[in-house]
Amino acid sequence: MKTFDLSGYLSRNRKLVDDALATVFDEFDRQRELVQAMTHSLMAGGKRVRPALALATADALGADPLIALPASCAIEMIHTYSLIHDDLPGMDDDDLRRGVPTCHKQFSEATAILAGDGLLTHAFHILAAPMTCFKVFPDAETRLILVEKISAAAGINGMVEGQMLDMQAEKNPENLPSDSPGVLTHLKKIHRHKTGAMIEVSVASGAISAGADPDALNALGTYAQNIGLAFQVMDDILNVIGDPKIMGKAAGTDALHDKMTFPAILGLEESKAFSRQLVADALEALDSYGEKEFKKNSEPLRAIAAYIINRKR
C-alpha cells in the first residue's frame, strides 16, 4: 500500500492558507506600519498546524476543504497574535520567532501590542464578513457558531487563561502542587488551555464548517484532545533534543529556566511513550467513528497525528 504523502498534502494546504491570508491583507495599504507588523509575523513561515487540521477535518468528512478556509485563516491569525503578545518584553521577552526577529524587535513594543490586537480583532471580522478572497464560506448561522467556538477557545477559559497559568507557574513555582501526580495534572491543565483549546477548535471548526453530525464532532473532539496534548509533549521533548537550526529557535531553554515540562516530570523516555500513547488514542477515536469512506478520507488526519510526534521542529 502506498504511503500517504503528508508532505505534499501539507504543502498544498499551506499554499491555500498562505494565499488566502495574503489576499486578506491585500485589502490594506501594505505601506502602513501596522499592516507590515501584522504580516511580518503572520507570513514568517509558521508550520500552519492549526489550519492544516481544520482543512484535513473537512476533507475527512468528505466536504470541500475550502469551506474550512475562513476559519483556518481566523485561527492562524489568532495563533499569530498570541505569539506576538507572548514574545513581548512584559511576557517572555523573546527576540526570535519562526526564525525571524519577533514583532517588537523588528518594529517596536507598541507596534507589536497593536499588531496583536489587530490580528485578534480581524480574525473575528473575516468570520463575520467573509471577503471575496474566500471562494466558498459557511452560511451566516454556521459563521456565528464559529465566532462563538473560536472566541471561547481563544479567551478567558481557553488560550488566554493558559498563558496566565503558564506565567503563574513560572513566576510562583512555590504555589504548584508538590507531588509528581499533582504537578502532572497541573501541567496538563496549562496545556489544555494554552495550546489544546486552539488545536481542538481547529478540528471543531473544520467539522462545523463541513456540517458535521454530533457523532463525528464527538469522535473528532477526542482525536483533537489527544493530539493537542501530544503536540505539547513533543514541543517539550524537542526543547530537550531538538536541533536549533531546524527549529529556528534555541533548544534547552526550558531546562535552563527550570521550567515545568513533561520531560522534567516524567523523564524523556516516558514522555516519548506518553506522546505515542496519546496519538494511538487519537487514531482509535477516528476508528470508532469508522465508516469505510471516512477511513479513507481521514488519512490526512491520521498522518498529521503521526507527524506530530515524528516532527523535528
Which residues would be at the binding site for a copy of itself (CB under 8 A)? 28, 32-35, 38, 81-82, 85, 88-91, 104, 108-114, 116-118, 120-122, 124-125, 127-129, 140-141, 143-145, 147-148, 151-152, 154-157, 160-161, 163-164, 167-168
Least Å distance, CB 199 to a copy of itself, is 17
> Which of 125/311 has CB closer to a copy of itself?
125
Least Å distance, CB 38 to a copy of itself, is 7
Least Å distance, CB 165 to a copy of itself, is 9
> Which of 197/308 has CB closer to a copy of itself?
197
> Which of 1/129 has CB closer to a copy of itself?
129
Least Å distance, CB 80 to a copy of itself, is 13
Least Å distance, CB 92 to a copy of itself, is 9
> Which of 34/240 has CB closer to a copy of itself?
34
Least Å distance, CB 31 to a copy of itself, is 12
The residue among 217, 233, 73 whose CA lies nearest residue 138 is 73
> Which of 14/151 has CB closer to a copy of itself?
151
> Which of 113/184 has CB closer to a copy of itself?
113
The CA-based diameter of the chain, rounded to the nearest angstrom, is 54
